[in-house]
Amino acid sequence: MDTQVFHGLLWPTAEEVPAEDGRADFLADLQLDRIIDAACSGDASLRTHFLRAARDVATIAYRQAVMAALEDTTLAAHFRVFAHGMQGVRAWLAAAQRAAPASLQSARWVLQAAQEYILALRALATSLATARLEAAGLLGWREWLAVYLGGESFTALAEETQGLQAAFEAAAFNVHLRGNEVTISACADEVDYSAAVEHTFARLHDVVPVAPAVAAAEPLLLNPVEEEILACVAALHPAVFARLAAFRRQHGEFLDTAVAQFDADLRFYFAWLDYLAPLRSAGLPFCYPHLSNDDKSIVMLDTFDLALAASLTREGQAVVGNDVELLGDERLLVITGPNQAGKTGLARAIGQAHYLAALGCAVPGRSARLFLCDRLFTHFEREENLAQQQSKLEDDLVRMHAILRAATSRSLVILNEAFASTTLQDATALSRRVMAELSQRGMLTVFVTFIDELASFDAHTVSLVGVMAQQGQGGETARTYRFCREHADGRAYALAIAEKYGLSYARILERLPA
């Protein structure tokens, strides 16, 4: 047996990997779908990693240690070089699959892939030999890699690849072009003028810089003329091409499963770090939260809606952070305030942080302490679907019933303006019944609402109110997008409405005759 066991950078043990949590409702409600798509940046294979959250604190700590280590640019450079090399390996193998399986070109591309594979692994092993590693995942990989590179299977692959490459370099031939006629012949004692030509024109490089060749997006298939030339070359050097065919049969599946897994896992970490890079450059804070399996306290300092922050940062606008706390036996967080004050964004930020933390990702904020919930549920407003032949209120009730039936005491539920389609009296009554059920189960809940009286529902309820700032001498108000922990009395909301419709005290005075 050549190697020890290495399970990857995401799952430290051989325990069953959870199925993808692809529920479009909470992903879209929290705009996690936009965040994930942006992080994957066109690499669809990464999406599955973002849809499989860890279920235990130990796995999350394992991931956090790896991601934190890769924030070291010096160490990360070694792994990025490896990732680039593996990108080439995947490209050559994919090209070999596209070509005819028995073709000479397909076999040659497998050889090229194997060569890059060997170079990438050996270069990484050399770089890591003296690197200071502390993350268990990276330490495990270094130990596994050392054993793998010294094993019989890799040694045989490397020796055969090197020998076959040397054989191809020695397999010289001449191509004669005359009109539309192409003739292939063996080399005799002809002088190779290629080195002399390169030396002659090298002097021109200082005068007219030569632009570097643009690498093709993917290896190109040979055209019919090139295929004929290759067939003639194979006839001139049958022994070399016989070795190539044997190499394809023996080493066609050279890519080790653990290496492929490591490569895929590594791309997940870099995808997230690269997504955060421009946000960090803009001065936004990120942290690795402490998660608990049993303490339901939530402490988030200077947190923000990540999807909104990405948009604002691109536009050069400021991002406002907020503090959120649920301590002791506090379970229900009620967020109130004027329209367009950032209530939904704050609720999204809380949900995003809990989900991303379960992936082992750095999350928005200076620091965070979170509860590792078993599932995340959201109830956001939906457009009325005429095909369902039910009112918005009925749709709200059906969806709410489904949440209450599926959620457990370990779930996180985020409700945004529930029952807004009905009367204030009915919305209040329905919201109270839902909150009573959630509170009775001890479920963590975030409730965005326009009903202030819900903010003092019971002893487990905490109220966060949108802060309005006074501007000018006339007493005008402006949204700050900040929230403070205080009793909701509706005054800020009333002032905002009065200001919107020109009914504030200052505006009324302006219109009164002198």
pLDDT category at 208 given cuts 50, 70, 90 is: very low
- All domains of the chain, ordered by start, with CATH? 54-181+218-265 (no CATH), 284-511 (3.40.50.300)
Mean pLDDT for 40-68 is 93
Q: Is the model more confident about 498 or about 179?
A: 179
Region of 268 (left: φ > 0; alpha: ψ -120 to 50; beta: rest) is alpha
Write b or e for each residue in 54-71: b if 16 or more Cβ atoms lie within 10 A of its Cβ, otherwise e. Answer: beeeebbbbbbbbbebbe
Dihedral angle, C-alpha 359, 364, 365, 371, nearest 10 °: -30
Other C-beta atoms lying within 10 Å of the C-beta of residue 160: 18
What pLDDT does 259 receive?
96
pLDDT category at 2 given cuts 50, 70, 90 is: very low
Nearest to 234 by CA among 220, 222, 218, 216: 222
Nearest to 124 by CA among 63, 168, 81, 177: 81
Angle at 400 between CA 438 and CA 322, to 5 degrees: 60
Nearest to 469 by CA among 450, 496, 445: 496
Per-residue pLDDT tens over the stretch 189-202: 667 667 677 778 77
pLDDT category at 314 given cuts 50, 70, 90 is: very high
Residues in Cβ contact with 221 at an 8 Å cutoff, skipping those fewer than 6 apart:
95, 98, 99, 105
What pLDDT does 218 receive?
62
List the beta bridge partners of residue 175. Answer: 184
pLDDT category at 490 given cuts 50, 70, 90 is: low
Dihedral angle, C-alpha 421, 424, 426, 427, nearest 10 °: 60
Dihedral angle, C-alpha 407, 410, 411, 413, nearest 10 °: 100
Q: What is the mean pLDDT of the chain?
A: 87
* CA 342 to chain CA mean position, Å: 25
Q: Is the pLDDT of residue 100 over 90?
A: no
According to the per-residue pLDDT averaged within each range, which of 63-77, 178-192, 198-212 is highest?
63-77
What pLDDT does 306 receive?
98
**Strand-strand pairing, 444-448 and 367-371:** unpaired
User: Which SS3 state, helix, strand or coil, does residue 442 take?
Assistant: coil
Q: Of all residues in the chain, what percent carry a pLDDT higher than 90?
A: 60
What pLDDT does 478 receive?
77
| Rounded distance between C-alpha atoms, residue 148 and residue 337, angstroms | 60
| Rounded distance between C-alpha atoms, residue 310 and residue 221, angstroms | 40
Q: Is the pLDDT of residue 297 over 70?
A: yes
Q: Identify the residue whose tokens are 């549920």.
A: 377
Amino acid present at 30: L
pLDDT category at 3 given cuts 50, 70, 90 is: very low
What letter does residue 367 receive in the DSSP assignment? E
Nearest to 20 by CA among 59, 46, 48, 43: 48
Mean pLDDT for 360-377 is 97
| Rounded distance between C-alpha atoms, residue 213 and residue 309, angstroms | 38
Mean pLDDT for 448-467 is 93
pLDDT category at 210 given cuts 50, 70, 90 is: very low
Angle at 287 between CA 53 and CA 328, to 5 degrees: 80
125 is written with which tokens?
A: 């092993």
Give Cα separations from 421 to 339, 379, 383, 425 (angstroms): 16, 14, 11, 12
Q: Identify the residue whose tokens are 């679907």.
A: 385
Q: Which of 47-56, 103-112, 166-175 has the lowest mean pLDDT?
A: 166-175
Give Cα separations from 461 to 135, 262, 382, 464, 485 (angstroms): 39, 45, 26, 10, 11
Mean pLDDT for 398-407 is 94
Give Cα separations from 366 to 287, 299, 304, 318, 333 (angstroms): 6, 11, 10, 16, 21
Q: Is the pLDDT of residue 496 over 60?
A: no
What pLDDT does 434 receive?
96
What letter does residue 222 receive in the DSSP assignment? P
Q: Is the model more confident about 335 or about 381?
A: 335
What pLDDT does 391 receive?
83
Give Cα separations from 259 to 29, 76, 138, 154, 198 (angstroms): 36, 17, 13, 12, 39
What pLDDT does 213 receive?
43
List the beta bridge partners of residue 298. Answer: 326
Mean pLDDT for 275-293 is 97
Q: Are 363 and 63 in contact (CB under 8 A)?
A: no
21 is written with which tokens?
A: 């949590």
Q: Is the pLDDT of residue 383 over 50?
A: yes
Angle at 124 between CA 122 and CA 127, to 5 degrees: 110
Q: Of all residues in the chain, what percent carry a pLDDT higher than 70?
A: 86
Q: Is the pLDDT of residue 330 over 90?
A: yes
Other C-beta atoms lying within 10 Å of the C-beta of residue 434: 23
Per-residue pLDDT tens over the stretch 219-273: 777 777 777 777 887 777 888 888 888 888 888 899 999 999 999 999 999 999 9
Residues in Cβ contact with 411 at an 8 Å cutoff, skipping those fewer than 6 apart:
373, 374, 375, 376, 377, 443, 444
Mean pLDDT for 451-462 is 93
Q: Are 448 and 442 in contact (CB under 8 A)?
A: no
423 is written with which tokens?
A: 């009367």
What pLDDT does 215 receive?
43
| Rounded distance between C-alpha atoms, residue 238 and residue 186, angstroms | 12
Nearest to 162 by CA among 235, 263, 247, 260: 247
Q: Are 426 and 457 in contact (CB under 8 A)?
A: no
What pLDDT does 276 receive?
98
Q: Is the model more confident about 508 or about 333?
A: 333
Angle at 505 between CA 503 and CA 507, to 5 degrees: 60
Q: Which of 95-109, 122-136, 223-237 has the lowest mean pLDDT?
A: 223-237
